[in-house]
Amino acid sequence: MSNFCSWRALLAFLAAAYLLPNFIVAEAVAESPDLVISLVRHGDRSPRVPLNEKLWPMGNAELTAKGARQCYELGKKLRQRYFTDDFPETWHSGYSRHIAKSLNRTIQSANAVLQGFYPAGVSETGLPNQTQIPPLFAYPPESDFLFSTHHICPGFVKRMEALETSTTWQQKKASYGDRFAYWAKVANRPKQIFSLIPLMDAVFVRKLYNIPLPDNLTPEDQEQLTDLLDWFFTELVKDQEMLQLLSANFIQELINTLESYQTRSQTRSQTRSQTRNQARIQNRKPARHQTCKGNDCERFVLYVASDLNLLTFLAIMGTPRSQNVGYGSHLDLLVSSSEGRKPGVKWFFDDKPLALPACQADCSLEQLISLLRQKLPESWQALCEFGSGVQLKDSRFQY
């Protein structure tokens, strides 16, 4: 009887080993899309205010080893999930484009994603036993209007001041009694919800790593400050002008990328048709990427930014969240076309389908572009108030 059970266990193990690769393939989309656009939050990082710097030798708010590995695995997963065809392992300038927010942690995260996505790096690196990472673009901090408008737009300061003095925000601060003033003292910051974000972040990260709190904070403080961080993001995205201010440039970037895809999709479709006909004659399967290599056949666009960027974009598109997004969270937009049909789009958030209220399962690319245009403000410059004389460098609303 024992031998029989052993044989059954062995057979079960072999069956599982055999089925595992099939399970992994099943996680991928049925057919590789024509274009994938991913907006990714950076990986795990040290807190903005460590409270104990010995625990974080890389410095404040910097990517950790765990965060780098997290993003590397994400790059591998994006490739496996969405690019099931013969997409090359070596980067070429026509294949993809990569932009990061102007922060160390976002730039490092993007590099890690690309190492996972392109396991062979760049051909003929010239580096001994090293992988050359594909190029990455980041705007200078003082002109990063794509992802850092809250750092450079005086309009952001004015809107934060209005929120802090609103009845809802005043009531929220009052609900904590004297404890709110104590937190501000511990953080050495003004008595503003926004100003306490570094402290909220510090206790959140300590909770994440099971690091004991300092003596001047209690477990109740930790729970309240963690909840207050989620409350802040939930309330912030209810302000439509704030959403437009923080998201408009990224929305315009998406529109430009999608329209660029539209202009070349017809030509590319004709090229593919010719390539397929030639392949049939030669009785072989055409390599998809070979139909446009070197001719701007962009199929993957990577953006790596922060939680604020993902949260505000999700909210302005009609899918606000009640909690913050995790490290390495990613929003993926898939654009696909087939013979005789207009290109359609699908959204995924952390690998799960995401339905936008105005762009459901059968949403076309044209509908999405129209929807994105509706989200743009009449004048983003007016919202930003850039050049109005308001100084942001020493503002208490620096995030």
Q: What is the pLDDT of residues 239-291, one digit of tens each?
A: 999 999 999 999 999 999 999 998 877 665 555 555 555 555 555 544 544 44
* Whole-angstrom distance, CA of residue 372 vs CA of residue 26: 32
Q: Are 104 and 83 in contact (CB under 8 A)?
A: no
**Which domain range does residue 325 map to?**
31-149+240-384
| Contact in structure between 41 and 305 (CB atoms under 8 Å) | yes
pLDDT band at 387 (very low <50, low <70, confident <90, very high): low
Which pLDDT does position 272 carry in this prediction?
Answer: 54
Q: Rounded distance, CA 85 to CA 56, Å?
A: 41
Instruction: Grade residue 49 by pLDDT with cuts at 50, 70 and 90.
Output: confident
Q: What would the pLDDT profile of 53-68 be if each residue is shown by its tens digit?
A: 788 889 999 999 999 9
User: What is residue 122's predicted lDDT score, i.e. its pLDDT?
Assistant: 82
Q: Which helix (H) or strand (E) holds 345?
A: strand 344-349
Residue 198 counted as domain residue? no
Question: Is the pLDDT reported for residue 194 higher than 50?
Answer: yes
CB-hemisphere CA count at 13 Å for 75?
31
Assess whether pLDDT exceeds 50 at residue 196.
yes
Q: For residues 125-135, give the mean pLDDT.
A: 82
- pTM of the entire structure? 0.85
- Total structural domains in the chain? 1
Confidence bin at 391 (pLDDT 50/70/90) = very low
Instruction: Answer yes or no: is 195 within a domain.
Output: no
Of 21 and 143, more confident? 143
Q: Would you call 8 exposed, middle or buried from its count of C-beta atoms within 10 A (0-12, 13-18, 19+)? A: exposed
The segment with the largest mean pLDDT, out of 40-54, 118-132, 287-301, is 40-54
Residue 230 lies in a domain: no
- Provide the CB-side half-sphere exposure for 91 (13 A, CA): 23
CB 356 within 8 A of CB 318: yes
Any domain includes 307: yes
35-41/300-305 β-pairing: parallel
Q: What is the pLDDT of residues 6-23, one digit of tens each?
A: 444 433 433 343 333 333
Any domain includes 24: no
Q: Does the pLDDT of residue 348 top 70, yes or no?
A: yes
The CA-CA-CA angle for residues 383, 387, 391, to 5°, reads 95
Q: Which amino acid is at 181?
A: A
- Does position 292 have pLDDT exceeding 80, yes or no? no
pLDDT at 396 over 70: no
Specify whether the CB–CB gap between 70 and 17 falls below 8 A.
no
- Counting residues of the chain whose pLDDT is more than 90, the rounded percentage is 61
Tokens of 110: 């993007």
Q: Characterize 17-51 residue by residue with b for buried, 16 or more Cβ atoms within 10 angstroms of its Cβ, and e for exposed.
A: eeeeeeeeeeeebeebbbbbbbbbbbbbbbbebbb
Lowest mean pLDDT among 118-127, 176-185, 203-212: 118-127
CATH number, residue 253: 3.40.50.1240
Report yes or no on 161 lying in a domain: no
Phi/psi at 242 (5° precision):
-65, -40
Alpha-helical segments (H) within the chain: 2-26, 65-82, 104-117, 149-152, 154-164, 167-174, 178-187, 197-208, 219-236, 240-282, 307-316, 365-374, 380-384
Higher-confidence residue of 213 and 375: namely 375
Report the pLDDT value the prediction gives residue 30, as an integer from 0 to 100. Answer: 59
Mean pLDDT within 30-38: 87
Is residue 1 included in any domain, yes or no? no
**Residue count of the chain:** 399
Q: Contact 258/175 with Cβ under 8 angstroms?
A: no
For residue 10, being part of any structural domain is answered with no
Q: Does 40 or 89 have the greater pLDDT score? A: 40
3 pLDDT band, cuts 50/70/90, is: very low
